[in-house]
Amino acid sequence: MSLNLRLVEVATVPIGLPRKTDRKLAVRGLSSSRLISADVCYGFKSVESNAEFPKWEDAYSIGVRFNDEKSDVVMDGRTISRPHRRGETHFLYVSGLEHIDFTTPRHTVETILQRSFMREIADDLEVPHVTHLGKSLYHVTDDPVLRRLALRIHPYFDAPETIDPLFADHFMWSLGIYVCATYGDLAMRRPVRGGLSTWQERLAKEVMETSVVGGIGLAELASLCGLRTSQFAHAFKRSTGMAPYQWLQRRRVERAKDLLTFRDTSLADIALTCGFSDQSHLTRTFARLVGTTPGAWRATIH
């Protein structure tokens, strides 16, 4: 089904915002591996035309608000109308949604949690499938963990090509398990076991080394090691002290250091060779992990 959004008349217009007739719905998408997310803005900036939402089947939208706002949500012929505070999160079962009326400017980050992925999480943990999220089809809560998760992916809307599929997988498994266990009926029965065996750790690292350019999914790594996805993620961190995507980022930076010793190799070429989307992506990641830019680091070794 498609998410139907109607723009309704507003009695007053806040100073500095475009009038209702000028307001448009701006949607930026982010999709990598299992991650499907949208940055939704209405009334904060003018765009050429109203954006359209993608079609989602049997899924929840987990939306974190970046401003105070009010909207009317119509589900099963019933209208839910209430003000919402900045930082609040809603769980909205999009398959049961008829439409949403935006009555004030709005900015949210919406992440799609598909029912099929919720079943995959339960199967991976060897527990019964989750039957619900929240207390109703439209549940609102104030959760600092979900706010932090939204803030982690928000910068990627400016450069969606820089998000790594391994990071996207790790993000969705973290979000999915947390949401299903905290707001659903996910039973966390299986205890966390120890780390990877020697061969599993070596295989995982070697495969990631060969996937520096293009990346690799978490489920594929787990399958290669003969483990379930969540089991592999826990075991890898217990063995190495970091998540798989963090390890891969560090290996990319180490490979960049090796190439920086060749002065004739441009930073743009090094970025692409090491799996970064462009030179600026390399610079940001390198500076965060090393504490200085690639150009400055290169100057210290020549």
How is residue 150 written in tokens? 């939204």
Alpha carbon distance 181, 239 (integer Å): 25
**Sequence-distant (≥ 6) Cβ neighbours of residue 3 within 8 angstroms:** 53, 56, 61, 94, 97, 100
In the block, tokens 């060779």 appear at 273
Alpha carbon distance 254, 285 (integer Å): 11
Note the pLDDT of residue 173.
93
Within-domain flag for 232: yes
DSSP 87-100: T-EEEEEGGGEEEE
Within-domain flag for 71: yes
Q: Please indicate, yes or no, whether residues 91 and 12 belong to a single structural domain of this protein.
A: yes
Backbone dihedral angles phi then psi of residue 91, each to the nearest 5 degrees? -110, 115
Note the pLDDT of residue 94.
84
Backbone dihedral angles phi then psi of residue 107, each to the nearest 5 degrees? -145, 115
CA distances from 44 to 8, 23, 30 (A): 15, 8, 20
Q: Is residue 100 within 8 Å of 73, Cβ to Cβ?
A: yes
Least confident residue range of 44-48, 110-114, 167-171, 238-242: 44-48
**End-to-end Cα separation, the chain, in angstroms:** 59
96 pLDDT higher than 60: yes
Within-domain flag for 192: no
Alpha carbon distance 16, 133 (integer Å): 38
Within-domain flag for 191: no
> Does pTM top 0.95 for this prediction?
no
Average of pLDDT values for 22-28? 76
Task: Work out how many domains the chain is built from and give that number.
Answer: 3
Note the pLDDT of residue 212.
84
For residue 188, name the pLDDT band (cuts at 50, 70, 90). Answer: low
Note the pLDDT of residue 189.
61
Q: Is residue 181 within 8 Å of 133, Cβ to Cβ?
A: no
134 pLDDT higher than 50: yes
Alpha carbon distance 57, 179 (integer Å): 19
Sign of CA dihedral 252, 253, 259, 265: positive
For residue 97, name the pLDDT band (cuts at 50, 70, 90). Answer: confident
Range of the structural domain that residue 202 is part of:
198-241
Within-domain flag for 189: no
* pLDDT (tens digit per residue) in 245-263: 999 999 999 999 999 999 8
For residue 129, name the pLDDT band (cuts at 50, 70, 90). Answer: very high
Average of pLDDT values for 136-148? 89
What pairs with residue 301 in β-bridges?
Answer: none
157 pLDDT higher than 60: yes
Q: Please indicate, yes or no, whether residues 147 and 57 belong to a single structural domain of this protein.
A: yes
229-240 helix and 198-210 helix, angle to the nearest 10 degrees: 100
Q: Please indicate, yes or no, whether residues 29 and 142 belong to a single structural domain of this protein.
A: yes
Within-domain flag for 211: yes
